[in-house]
Amino acid sequence: MNWTRRQLLKTAGGGLAALPGSDALRAAKTEMPKGKADACIFLWLGGGAAHIDSFDPKVRGDGKRQAGSYYDSIATAIPGVRLSEHLKRTAPLLDRCALIRSLSHDISGEHAAAANLVHTGRVPSGTIQYPSIGSVVSHQLGAKSEEVPAYVVMGYPNITRDPGFLGAKYGYVYLTQVETGPNGLVRAPDVDNARQDRRETLLAQLREDFSRRNPGDETIEGQAAISRQGFKMAGPRFLNVFDLKREQASLRETYGGEFGQRCLLARRLVQSGVRFVEVSFNLNFLNGSGWDTHNEGQLKQHLLIQDLDQALAALIQDLERNMMLDRTLVVVATEFGRPPEFDSGGGRGHQSVAFSGMLAGGGLKTAQAIGVTDDLGKKVVDRLVTIPDFHATIHCALGIDPSKNLYAGDRPVPITDHGKPVTELFS
C-alpha cells in the first residue's frame, strides 16, 4: 500500500491500532507457554563446568593427547541418555530432569563477561545496565510474604546479579554464612524492642522529610523500600529459616558438605516464600581451581562433580518429598563448557559454542535431553539453544512472558533479547 502524508498523520493520531494489518500483527505474536512453577533455585557452577565430564559425556580421552571425556559414563533413568560416572546419585533421578546439551554463545575468553551474559541474557550496553534473571523474577513475581525477600544469593555480591535499571528494590539479599543468615538483619545484643522502635520512628521521620524535599527521587525511594523491608525481614519468621538444625540430622547428612547445606537452605528459603535463590558453588579448595579446570585442576575435578551430585540428588528428592518439586524449578547453569582437548598441564581451556545446562522439576515435561553435540562435544549439531532462549524457558516455566517489555526510564526493554522458550519442555 502507498501511504500519503495525510494518511500517515491521520493514522498516527489514532495510534498504532489504526494501522492496516495491525490486527494481524497482534494475532501473529507468538503465544508463549505458561508453566506452573512459582519459585526457582539457580545452582551456579562458576568457572565453566566441563560438559563432557558431567552432563554430556563422550568417548574417553587419555588426559594428554587423546581428546575426550575424562571419566567413564553410566546409564540413567532416561533410556539412551548417559551421565558421567560421578553423577551416580543424579542418574536414577534424571527422569525428573531435562538436560539442555546445546547451549551456545560466543564469549569464551573472559569469565566475567560470560557470567554476565548467562545472568542477564544480554551483552553489556554502554547506555543501560541490564537486570539479572533473579531481579527480573523478583520484579515480576515479588516475594510471597513481606517478611521474606524475593531474591537471595548465597555467595559474595557481584554485579552480574544486580537489578540494573529495575532499581535497588529488586536487588538481592546475600549470604556468606549459611548458619547465621544475613548479618545486616541481626540486631546488636543491646538493642531491645523499645530502642529499635525509637530508631525506626526517627528514621521514618528523616526519610519523610528528605522525600518531601526531593520528590520523585527513584534512587532514594528504592533505598527506602529496602530499608522498610529489612526491618520486616529481621523478624523471627525469616531468621528462623537459617536454623538448619530444625531439620533432621539424617537429612542434613544426605545433602553432604558446604554446597549441600546451601542447597538445603535454598529449599527452606523457597518454602518460606522466597522466589529466586541462587546457590553459588565456589568451593575452589576442593581441587584448587574450582570449575575452571585448567592444568592440575582437572585431576581432582571429580570431587566437585561428586559434591554437586550429592547435593543435587538430595535437593530433588527433598523437594519431591515436600511436594514442592512441581512448583520449584531447579536450574544448573555455568558460564561456558570446556573443550575435549587437554592443555599441556592435563586440564582444559574454555568453550562457549557448545555446553550444557539442566532443569529439574518446575512442572516441565522432563525425562528428555534437548540438543545434540558432535562426537567430542565441540559443536552443536542439533537444536541450538541460545542464552536468551534459556532465559525465556526459565521465565515461561515461572509463568512470566519473556517478550514482555520492562522500562529503563521511557525506554522499553523486552525481558529477554528475542529469546524463544524450548517448547518441547511444556505441555
Please report the DSSP string for 37-91 in residue order. --EEEEEE-TTT--GGGTTS--SB--SSSS-SBSS-EEE-SSTT-EEETT-TTTG
Q: Of residues 345 and 372, which shows the higher confidence score?
A: 372
User: CA torsion, points 46, 47, 51, 52, in degrees to nearest 10?
Assistant: -150
Residue 211 corresponds to which amino acid? S
Average pLDDT for 322-339:
98
Enclosing H/E stretch for 116: helix 111-120
Q: What is the pTM of this model?
A: 0.86
pLDDT of 238 reads 80
Rounded to whole angstroms, how far apart are CA atoms 138 and 52? Answer: 33
pLDDT of 313 reads 98
Q: What is the pLDDT of residues 374-400, one digit of tens each?
A: 999 999 999 999 999 999 999 999 999
pLDDT of 110 reads 94
Cell 526510564 sits on residue: 409
Which pairing describes strands 173-175 and 151-154: parallel, antiparallel, or unpaired? Answer: parallel
Is the distance from CB of 276 to CB of 264 less than 8 angstroms? no
Rounded to whole angstroms, how far apart are CA atoms 158 and 165? Answer: 16
List Cα–Cα distances, 389 to 326, 395, 402, in angstroms.
21, 10, 9
For residue 98, with 0-12 CB atoms within 10 Å meaning exposed, 13-18 middle and 19 or more buried, which class applies? buried
pLDDT of 67 reads 97
* Sequence-distant (≥ 6) Cβ neighbours of residue 251 within 8 angstroms: 264, 314, 318
Is the distance from CB of 92 to CB of 77 less than 8 angstroms? yes
Q: What is the pLDDT of residues 157-196, one digit of tens each?
A: 788 999 999 998 899 998 877 776 665 555 555 555 566 5
Report the mean per-residue pLDDT for the chain.
87
Is the distance from CB of 125 to CB of 108 less than 8 angstroms? no
pLDDT of 196 reads 53
Decide: helix, strand or coil at residue 385.
Answer: strand
Domains within the chain, CATH numbers bracketed: 31-186+234-425 (3.40.720.10)
Which pairing describes strands 173-175 and 97-104: parallel, antiparallel, or unpaired? Answer: unpaired
Q: Which of 177-191, 289-303, 359-373 has the lowest mean pLDDT?
A: 177-191
* Sequence-distant (≥ 6) Cβ neighbours of residue 196 within 8 angstroms: 187
Helix, strand, coil shares of the chain, percent, nearest 5, are: 40, 15, 45
Average pLDDT for 349-363:
98
Rounded to whole angstroms, how far apart are CA atoms 325 and 108? Answer: 33
The share of the chain scoring above pLDDT 90, in percent, equals 70
* Sequence-distant (≥ 6) Cβ neighbours of residue 316 within 8 angstroms: 90, 93, 96, 97, 325, 330, 360, 361
- Report whether pLDDT(286) > 50: yes
Tell me which residue of 182, 179, 171, 176 sits closest to 143, measured CA to CA: 171
Tell me which residue of 64, 111, 59 sits closest to 298, measured CA to CA: 64
Rounded to whole angstroms, how far apart are CA atoms 376 and 68? Answer: 6
Cell of 53: 565430564
- Report whether pLDDT(214) > 80: no
C-alpha 355: how far from its chain's center? 16
Q: What is the pLDDT of residues 15-70, one digit of tens each?
A: 444 444 444 444 456 789 999 999 999 999 999 999 999 999 999 999 899 999 99
E-assigned strand segments in 160-236 = 173-175
Handedness of CA 121, 370, 59, 310 (dihedral sign): positive
The DSSP secondary-structure symbol of 204 reads H
Average pLDDT for 255-259:
96
pLDDT of 239 reads 82
- Report whether pLDDT(348) > 60: yes
pLDDT of 83 reads 98
Rounded to whole angstroms, how far apart are CA atoms 244 and 398? Answer: 27
- Report whether pLDDT(340) > 60: yes
Which pairing describes strands 405-408 and 39-44: parallel, antiparallel, or unpaired? Answer: unpaired
pLDDT of 158 reads 87
Cell of 70: 575424562
pLDDT of 208 reads 67
Q: What is the pLDDT confidence band of residue 210, given thresholds at 50, 70 and 90?
A: low
The DSSP secondary-structure symbol of 229 reads H
